[in-house]
Structure 1
Amino acid sequence: MKILKKILFSILALVFLIVLGVFIYYKSKAPQYEGERELTGLSSETKVYFDEYGVPHIYAQNQKDALHALGFVHAQDRLWQMELMRRIAPGRLSELFGSKALENDQFFSGIGIDENSAQAVANLDKNSEAYQLAQAYIDGVNQYLEEGKTPIEFDLVGVKKEPFTIKDMYNIFGFMSFSFAMAQKTDPLLTEIRDEWGMDYLADFGLDGSLAKTRLKSYDGKAKDYAAIAKSVTALLEQSPVPPFIGSNSWVIGAEKTKNNKVIFANDPHIMFSQPGTWYEAHISCPGYEMYGYYLAGTPFPLLGHNRDYAYGLTMFENDDLDFFQEENHPQNAKQYKTASGYANYSVRTKTIKVKDTTDVQLTIKSTQHGPVMNGLLKGLNAKNPVAMSWIYTQHPNRILEAVYGLSHAKNLDDFHQKVGLVHAPGLNVMYGDAKNNIGWITSGKLYKMPEGVNPNFILNGANGKDDQRTFLPFEENPHAINPDWHYVYSSNNQPEPINGYLYPGYYLPQDRAKRIQSLLATKSNWERADVERMINDHTSLIYPGLVKNWMQCVTRDGLTSTEKSALETLQQWEGTHAVYDIAPTIYNKWLYFYLKNTFQDELGEERFSLFLGTHILKQMVAGQSVNPNSPWWDDVKTKGIKETRDQIVNRSFHEAIKALEKQLGPEYTNWRWGKVHTLEHQHPLGKVAALRPLFNVGTFEVPGGNEVINNLLFYLAEDGHYKVGGGPSTRRIIDFSDVENSVSILPTGQSGVRSSPHYNDQAEMYVKGRFRKMKLNRKEIEATSTLLVLKPKAN
C-alpha cells in the first residue's frame, strides 16, 4: 500500500511539475507592457503608454525614434503574424507548413510580386524621409526579433529567425493588393458560361453595369478549363493563413448635416476574419507630428488613421485591374506563342521553393507580353491552352511606400488627394474628412478603357492585337467627390456613375448597403456620434423584404403545412432586420439557397455552382434574375421534354427550404433563430489543428448582421444551413471632429496576437454586441489609465 501511495504521489508530483512548467512557459511569452528597455539606435528616451486595451501611445522626441519604438512594440504583439504576412508573396509558406502549402507558394512565386518588390526597393530614394522612417521601423522589429521573446508559434512550427527588410513590406502590400481582385474568381467562370450556354444566359448578369441602380456620384463643381483558374485561386485565398480583403463601408458626414456643425467620419473595412485580426492600433506623438493609426503587420505607416486635423480610411473600389488572356502556342515550337505581329519567345525564369517535409521544388515560370502563364502555377489547367494573367500592380512602377507615407503626413486636402494618385493598384475608395469641414471621396487605381467590343469580364484573346489595347486615363479623371453640395460622401463597393460617358468595368457589389446608407444619410440633418454608432451596427436590408414578398406570389397556397403557413406569415411581416433573435433571415437564406441551386446548378454543375456562390456577380444579379420570368436559367436542362418556369422553381425551392429547416432545427419554427445558424469563430492558423483550436481560436459567438447589410458579417450559402461568418468589419471607427478626443473604435478580438497577453481577445464580446471603446488622444488621460514602458537608448 505504501509503495502504491508513493507511486501515486510521484505521478501527481510529475503532473504538477509538467503543468507548472507549461504555465511558466506560457506566461514567459507575454509582451512587456511596463518597465524599462534599452533599444539600439534610439537617439533619446521614448515613452510608450499601453492603455487598458493594449494600444501603445508612443511619445518620442522625433519621428525616427517613434517609428523605431513602433516596430519594437508591434513585433512583440504581432511577430508571428508578421512572419506569415511576409512569406506569402515570395512563396515561402512551405518552409513552415510543408507540402500542404506548396500550391499557394507555386502560385504566388509565379505572379511576380516578389520581383516587383525588389525593383521598387531598388528605385527608392534612400535619403527620403519615407525610407528613413521605414528603416527605423524595421530596425525596431529586428531588435525584438533578436532580443525579444520567441512566439509560441515559432516554437511549435519551427521558424528560423531571419531579419525583416523593406522588401518584406512591399511583399505584404503586394499580397494585400492581390487579395482585393475579383477577376480571378469571376472572369474564368463567366467565360465558361458564355462558351457553353451562350450570351442569352448572361443577360441576367448585367455585365454592362445595368444592375448597379445605386451609384456613387462624382462631383467637381468555346469551353475550356477556365473554371480551374477560379477554383484554384479561390481555394488558395480561402486557405491562406492571412485573410484577404473583401469589401467595406465608409461615409463622411459634412458639417451642414451634423448637430455640432463639424464633420463626422465612419469606416469599417471588410476583411476575412482571422486571429489575430488584421489591424494593429498605435498612437504616435512627437514634435510636429501626431497620428492614431491602423497598421498592417510588418508595415510602418497606417492605412487608416486620424489626428486632430483630419481622418482617412478606405473601402475597395472593386474596379477591374486584372485580366486573363488566352494565348496560342506555336504549332511546332513550344517555346513560342502567337502575337499580332508574329510569334514571340516565352520568357522563362526558375525559382526554388523550399519545402519543410520533402525535397525542394524547382518551379519554371513562363511569361508572355501580358504576364505570367497560369498553367503550371494553378491546378487543373491544360498545358495546351496557356492562359496568361495581366495585373496592373506588377506592370507599373510601385510607389506604395511613398503613398502610405503621404496619406499619413498630408498637409491638407489637396496634398492628400495627390498622394492617393500614387496608388496605381489596388483600386481603393479613399475617404477623407477634416477639422476644417472638408469631406471627400477619392478613388485610387490606374484606370483604363478597353477597345469597343472588348469585354474584360471574359478571358481575352491574347493573339489578336486588339483585346490588349488599353487606353490609360489620367488620375484626374478617376471618380471622386470633394465637398459635394449634398453634404455627405459614402462608399459600399458599389459602382460609380459614368465619367465622360464611360462606365468603369469592375466587380462591384449590389446596391443593398449603398441604398441603406444613402437613405439614412439623406433624410437626417442633425447627426451625432451616437447616431453613427447605431448606423454602423445597422443590420436592416431594404432589398430582401420586397424580394421575398415577390417570391411569395409563386407559392401555391393549397396543401400548405402549418409550419409553411407560419413561415410565410413571418416573411410577410419581415422588415429586413438580422438580429440574433430574428427568424425571417433564417427562412430567407435557406429559400435563397434552394432557389439558386434549383436555378443554376443544372447548367453549372456542382463544382462551378459552388464557385458561383462566392462571386460578387451572384449578389448583383439575384434581385433581377429571380423576378424575371423569361430568364433561360429557369428551365432544368436535365428534365428532357419539360420546360420549368419561374413559379415552379421558386415554389419548389420554398417547400424544400422549409423541409430542410425542420430537419436542421426541428419542427417548431419559433426555434429557427438567426443566431443559431449565423455564428462567428476567429480562427488562428494553428487553430485548424483540432487539439490547438481551444487554445488559439476565439469564439464561437452568435452574431447579428448578414450579407449586404451595413453590419456586413458575411457568409457563404450552404445546404447544411450553418452560416459560418467568414469576414466582416475588421474595425469600426467613428471620428467626430466636434469631440475628436472621444472618437471611438473596436477590433474584432484584441490588439495582441500573443495568447498569454490580456489583450488577445478582450474586445471580442464588445465587438459582437456592437459596442465601442475610446481612441485616446489626450495625454493626461492616457497617462492616468495606462502602464508605462520606457525605451532608453542603449549605451555603446
Structure 2
Amino acid sequence: MPPNTTASTGQQPGKSGRKKGRRARLIVLVLALALIAGVTGGAYWSISTVRASFPQTKGSISLDGLSGPVDVKRDDYGIPQIYASSDEDLFMAQGYVQAQDRFYEMDVRRHMTSGRLSEMFGKSQVENDEFLRTLGWDRIAQEEYDKTLSASTKKYLQAYAKGVNAYLDGKDNKDISLEYAALGFANDYKPAKWTPVDSVAWLKAMAWDLRGNMQDEIDRALMTSRLGPKEIADLYPGYPYSRNKTIVQSGQYDEITKTFEQGGSASTAGSSTGGSTSGSTGTASSSAANGLQSQLAGLQDVLDGLPTAVGVNGNGIGSNSWVVAGKHTITGKPLLANDPHLSASLPSVWYQMGLHCRAVSSKCQYDVSGYTFAGMPGVIIGHNQNISWGMTNSGVDVTDLYLEKLSGDGYLYDAKTVPFKTREETIKVAGGESKKIVVRETNNGPLLSDRSSELVKVGKKASVNTAAPDRGDGYGISLRWTALDPGTSMDAVFAMNKAADWNDFRAAATLFDVPSQNLVYADTKGHIGYTLPGKIPTRASGYDGSVPAPGWDSKSRWTGYIDDDELPYEYDPSRGYIVTANQAVVDKTKYPYTLTTDWGYGSRSQRITDLIQSKIDDGGKISTDDMRQMQLDNSSEIAKLLVPKLLKIDIDDKKVRDAEDVREAQELLEGWDYTQDADSAAAAYFNSVWRNILKLAFGNKLPKELRVKGQCLLVDPVNTTGPADQTDKVRECGERDADQAQPDGGDRWFEVVRSLMDDEDSDWWTTPSSGNRPGATNRDDLFMRAMVDARWELTAKLGKDIDTWSWGRLHRLFLKNQTLGTEGPGFLQYALNRGPWKLSGGEATVNATGWNAAGGYGVVWVPSMRMVVNLGDLDKSKWINLTGASGHAYNAHYTDQTDKWADGELLDWSFSDGAVDESTEDTLVLRP
C-alpha cells in the first residue's frame, strides 16, 4: 500500500500545489512500475500504459448517435457537469462520461448482478455465481425492461447504453483500465457491449444489500438451538418508543387508523399485528425444526461469502438524512442533509455529476445534480432547480424465508406435492470448464439451499431422481422477496429527477417499489416532507416475518401489499424538521400494519433530533455549517450509559493482577465527554471495554452458528506509521475464538445492555474464569473483567504507555479496490489500494464510521458521501465523496476527496450556469 495517509490539515490546495502533487504521484508511479517489472519477471507496464485509460477531458470527440453537441465541464476535482439540448443526448453523454471514469467498476457490477463473475475472475467465483444465478437478478431486470418500465425510461436506458458503447468502440483492454491490463496476463477477457438491462439489474443488487431483516430472521431461528424464548427476547428488545422518536410523529396516519378501527382489526385487513411470533413456525415437527436449524446454518455460510454491492451483506447498514424548515434556518429556506452509510469501496459507490438541459422544455426536461451510480442513468440523490431529496434505508421487512418440505417430484403445499419450476443455467469459467446448475423454485421463490453442497447432504433423505439432478430431497429454504418481481424503480429515478413540487415527488415515489427507502424532501418554496414508498407485504395473523415460516402451509403466505395511500408520510410538520436515521417510521400502536419487527433502535436519530432541538431551544438559527457539524457528531450513546458505572468499579489489588495499570486506564474515562475523536485515548479504551463486555456477557452463550464470518480485516499492524509491509500482516479478529459467537456491537446491543443494566445478577452477566483471570457472577464483576481485558488488549496493540493511545490508531480506514485490490497479487494491491486513514466516529454514532465488534476495530462501513443542500441558494450547497470521480489508479481524482472527507470538510457544489462556468477547469465537447 502507499505510505500512511492520515487526515490532512484540510487546507484547499492551490493550482501550483496540485500540479506538484500530480508530479509527486508520477514519481511514485515510476517506482511502483519498477517494482512491478521486477515482481512480474520483466513484464513492464510503462507510464503510457497506465495513462492510456485516463479520460480525455479537453478538446472534442465525435460520437455517432448524438443529435447535437454536448458540453462536459469538469471542475478541479474532475466532477462533470453535462449540458445538452435533448434528453437522449444528455443520457448518452452520461453513459460515455461515466464509462470514461468508471467502466471497469461498471463491468464488474454487471457481472455480479448477472452471476457471471467467473467469466472475469475464474473458478474462485463459481459458488458466488451459482447463488446469484439462483436469485436471478438479471432475469427479473430483463422482465422489468420488457414489461413494466415506461417507454421514456427505455429510451433513456438505450441512450445511456449507446454512450457507454461509444466509449468502448475500438478500445483495447489496456485503453480501458489498469485492471484489464492486469487481467490480460491471466485470460483473454474482452468486455461485451453494454445493454439497458445491465443498468436496471444494478437496482436489484442495491436492494439485496438493503434487504432489511433477513439476517435477524436467520439469527433468531438459529438461537432456538441454545436459547429459550425469554433469552431470545432479551436479545431483541422492543423499540424504545418513549425515548427515541419515530420519523412520522403526528397526524398523517390518523385517518388510516380510524378506518381500521371502524372496519375491523389490522389482521382482518391482511396485516400482521406484530404480536407474538410463536405462531410463525406453524405446526412444524421436531424433524422440521432440526431441518430448519441445519438449513439456516448452511445458508449463513453461503451468504457470508457473497460479494457486496453497496453494503456489508445487509449487516449494520444505516444512513442519516434530515431536513430543517426555513423558520429554523439562517437563510429562511429549508436545509437538507444526507449521508448514506455503506461499505467502504474504492472507487466509491457514488459518482457526482450534473445533468443539465440548456433550456428545460418538453424536448429536454432535466436540470438535476447529485450522486449517481456509475452504470445507471439519472441522479439517485441530489436536487434539481426546484426540489431536493435524500434517502435512508427504511429497513421494512420485504423478505421472508420459508422452510420447504421437498420430495422427488416437488415440494409439499397444503398436503399436496407441487412440481418445482426449474431452469438450467450454464456458468462460464475463465481458464476452466463451464458448469451447469439447475435452479428450482417453489411458489414462495427460489430454493437458496440448493446452492450449498453441505445443505444437500443434510436435506437428502433418499436417493431419488429429481428434476434437479444436482440436488436431493428433505428440507430446503426458499426466499420470498419483493425485488424478485418486476417493478418500476427505474421509472421513479427519472420522475424524481424532474419533479417540480411535493405532489410530483410523491407521485414519483410511488414508483420506487424496491428497495423501500425513507425519502426526505425540501423545495425552494419552503416546504419540507417525508414519504415511505415501497412494495411492502402484508401477512396473515400469526406471521410477522420475524422468523422463517412453514412453506407447506398456505396460511403462511403473503396476503397482499400495503396500498400507496396507506403508507406513512409527513408534510410541513409544525415542529419544523424531520429526521430519518433508520429508526421506527411510526409508533406500532398508531399504525395498523407491521412494517418490520427489526427497526434500528434510534441512537443516531435521537441524537440528531436533540442537536436540532437544542439549537432551536437556544433561539438560534441553523446554518449549512451547523448541518455539516451535526454530520460529524462523534458522541457515543452507549458510553453515556456505561461510563458512570465503569468509574464506580473498584479495581481491587487482591482481585486484579497489576491493578494499578488497570486503574490508570480507568482514569482515562474521568471527565471524558463521550466524544470519539481520532486522537482520544479515552475513546480507544472505552470501545475496547465495550467490545470485551459483549464478548464476556454474550459470546459464550450464543450458538456457534452465529459467529461472524467475512468481517475479519487483514491489515497492517496497528502500530505502524510507514508503508504497509505486505509480509507482516495481522488479522484483526484473530483473537476471537472460532467456535464462539460475538455480537457486532450495533445499536441493538446498546438496547440489550441498557435493558439488562438494572438486573445486576442476570445470568447474562456471568462468565467463566479463563487462565489467571477470574470469572464473573454479576454485572460489576463482569465489567471489571472487561476493563482488565481491555487494558491488556490495548497494551498488546498500542503499547503500555497510555499517553500514546488513540482511537484513530485502532479505528482505521483502508480503501481497497474491490476485486484485484482484495484478491490480486501483492504488487497489484500495492498499486490499487490506499490508506490507512485514522478516523473519528464509531458504531451507531451520527458520524457512523462503523466497526464490527466481532472483527476488531477497523472501519467496515462509512458515510459514503455527505451533502447539505441549501434551498435558499443552491450554489451554496455542499458535497463530498468518499474517494473521487475517477476509478483509475494514479489518476489525480482517484482519492482526491478522501482527505477532506476524513476531515469532515465539504466541497462547493456549483449548480447554476454561472457557478459551473466559474468552477470549470476542463471542457470537452462531444459532437455528432
Whether TM exceeds 0.5 here: the answer is yes
2:54 aligned with 1:30 = yes
- SS of the counterpart of 1:344? strand
Deviation at 1:573, TM superposition (A): 2.1
2:802 aligned with 1:707 = no
Q: Provide the rounded CA distance (Å) in 2 between the counterparts of 1:118 and 1:456.
A: 29
Q: Provide the rounded CA distance (Å) in 1 between the counterparts of 2:744 and 2:854.
A: 11
Q: Provide the rounded CA distance (Å) in 1 between the counterparts of 2:140 and 2:744.
A: 29
Q: Provide the rounded CA distance (Å) in 2 between the counterparts of 1:686 and 1:741.
A: 38
The answer as to whether partners of 1:185 and 1:615 remain within 8 angstroms in 2 is no
The answer as to whether partners of 2:405 and 2:476 remain within 8 angstroms in 1 is yes
2:630 aligned with 1:514 = no
Deviation at 1:336, TM superposition (A): 2.0
Render the CA deviation track for 1:112-148: whole Å, top value 9, x for unaligned. Answer: 312211111111567x322212211111111001145
Deviation at 1:355, TM superposition (A): 1.3
2:285 aligned with 1:155 = no
* Change over 3 Å in CA distance of 1:292–1:533 after alignment to 2: same
Deviation at 1:739, TM superposition (A): 2.3
- Bigger CA drift: 28-37 or 73-82? 28-37
The answer as to whether partners of 1:36 and 1:790 remain within 8 angstroms in 2 is yes
Q: Provide the rounded CA distance (Å) in 1 between the counterparts of 2:669 and 2:301.
A: 35
Equivalent residues, number: 771
Render the CA deviation track for 1:426-485: whole Å, top value 9, x for unaligned. Answer: 121111111011111211222233333324221211123222243421122222221111
Deviation at 1:557, TM superposition (A): 4.2
Alignment-mate amino acid for residue 345 of structure 2: S
Alignment-mate amino acid for residue 783 of structure 1: D
2:145 aligned with 1:145 = no
Alignment-mate amino acid for residue 527 of structure 1: I
The answer as to whether partners of 1:82 and 1:297 remain within 8 angstroms in 2 is yes
Partner of 2:376: 299
| Aligned pairs (5 A) from 1:525-536 | 525=616, 526-536=621-631
2:670 aligned with 1:548 = no
Alignment-mate amino acid for residue 641 of structure 2: G
Partner of 2:725: none
- SS of the counterpart of 2:169? helix
Partner of 2:405: 328
The answer as to whether partners of 1:207 and 1:457 remain within 8 angstroms in 2 is no
| Aligned pairs (5 A) from 1:119-518 | 119-124=143-148, 128-147=151-170, 149-158=175-184, 159-206=189-236, 208-209=238-239, 213-218=243-248, 219-220=250-251, 222-223=289-290, 224-225=293-294, 226-237=296-307, 246-286=317-357, 287-288=359-360, 289-330=366-407, 334-378=408-452, 380-381=454-455, 382-383=458-459, 384-395=474-485, 397-497=486-586, 498=588, 499-518=590-609
Q: Once the two structures are aligned, what percentage of the paired residues are identical?
A: 25
Deviation at 1:758, TM superposition (A): 1.4
Deviation at 1:353, TM superposition (A): 0.8
Q: Provide the rounded CA distance (Å) in 2 between the counterparts of 1:135 and 1:554.
A: 66
- Give the TM-score normalised by the residue count of structure 1: 0.92
* Change over 3 Å in CA distance of 1:450–1:646 after alignment to 2: farther
2:764 aligned with 1:633 = yes
2:699 aligned with 1:568 = no
Partner of 2:699: 601
- SS of the counterpart of 1:197? coil
* Change over 3 Å in CA distance of 1:598–1:118 after alignment to 2: same
Deviation at 1:304, TM superposition (A): 0.5
Render the CA deviation track for 1:284-333: whole Å, top value 9, x for unaligned. Answer: 22111311121112100111021331111201001111111111124xxx
Alignment-mate amino acid for residue 535 of structure 1: M
The answer as to whether partners of 2:814 and 2:835 remain within 8 angstroms in 1 is yes
C-alpha RMSD of matched pairs (Å): 2.6
Render the CA deviation track for 1:744-769: whole Å, top value 9, x for unaligned. Answer: 11111111101242111111111111
Alignment-mate amino acid for residue 179 of structure 2: E
Deviation at 1:605, TM superposition (A): 4.8
2:757 aligned with 1:621 = no
Q: Provide the rounded CA distance (Å) in 1 between the counterparts of 2:212 and 2:305.
A: 13
Deviation at 1:553, TM superposition (A): 4.4
Render the CA deviation track for 1:234-253: whole Å, top value 9, x for unaligned. Answer: 33145x79876721100000
Q: Provide the rounded CA distance (Å) in 2 between the counterparts of 1:400 and 1:500.
A: 26
2:852 aligned with 1:725 = no
Determine which of 45, 51, 57 is the counterpart of 2:69: 45
Q: Provide the rounded CA distance (Å) in 2 between the counterparts of 1:509 and 1:138.
A: 38
Q: Provide the rounded CA distance (Å) in 2 between the counterparts of 1:270 and 1:21.
A: 36
Q: Which runs of 5+ in 2 are unaligned?
A: 1-33, 253-288, 361-365, 460-473, 710-741
- SS of the counterpart of 2:306? helix
Determine which of 581, 587, 609 is the counterpart of 2:679: 581
The answer as to whether partners of 2:106 and 2:375 remain within 8 angstroms in 1 is yes
Q: Provide the rounded CA distance (Å) in 1 between the counterparts of 2:72 and 2:102.
A: 17
Render the CA deviation track for 1:268-291: whole Å, top value 9, x for unaligned. Answer: 011101111011111122111311
Partner of 1:66: 90
The answer as to whether partners of 1:293 and 1:305 remain within 8 angstroms in 2 is yes
* Change over 3 Å in CA distance of 1:622–1:135 after alignment to 2: farther
Partner of 2:714: none
The answer as to whether partners of 1:58 and 1:284 remain within 8 angstroms in 2 is yes
- SS of the counterpart of 2:708? helix
Alignment-mate amino acid for residue 629 of structure 1: E
The answer as to whether partners of 2:148 and 2:487 remain within 8 angstroms in 1 is no
Q: Provide the rounded CA distance (Å) in 1 between the counterparts of 2:839 and 2:668.
A: 20
- SS of the counterpart of 1:236? coil
Q: Provide the rounded CA distance (Å) in 2 between the counterparts of 1:510 and 1:292.
A: 32
The answer as to whether partners of 2:583 and 2:601 remain within 8 angstroms in 1 is yes
Partner of 1:647: 780
Partner of 2:106: 82
Render the CA deviation track for 1:150-208: whole Å, top value 9, x for unaligned. Answer: 21212222431211111111211110110112433221221011243221211213365
2:833 aligned with 1:697 = yes
- SS of the counterpart of 1:495? coil
Alignment-mate amino acid for residue 591 of structure 1: V
2:909 aligned with 1:775 = yes
Deviation at 1:707, TM superposition (A): 0.8
The answer as to whether partners of 1:209 and 1:503 remain within 8 angstroms in 2 is no
The answer as to whether partners of 2:245 and 2:606 remain within 8 angstroms in 1 is no
The answer as to whether partners of 2:236 and 2:752 remain within 8 angstroms in 1 is yes
Q: Provide the rounded CA distance (Å) in 1 between the counterparts of 2:645 and 2:585.
A: 28
Partner of 2:8: none
- Give the TM-score normalised by the residue count of structure 2: 0.79
Q: Provide the rounded CA distance (Å) in 2 between the counterparts of 1:623 and 1:380.
A: 39
2:621 aligned with 1:523 = no
The answer as to whether partners of 1:242 and 1:274 remain within 8 angstroms in 2 is no
Q: Provide the rounded CA distance (Å) in 2 between the counterparts of 1:501 and 1:555.
A: 50
Q: Provide the rounded CA distance (Å) in 2 between the counterparts of 1:735 and 1:792.
A: 30
2:690 aligned with 1:592 = yes
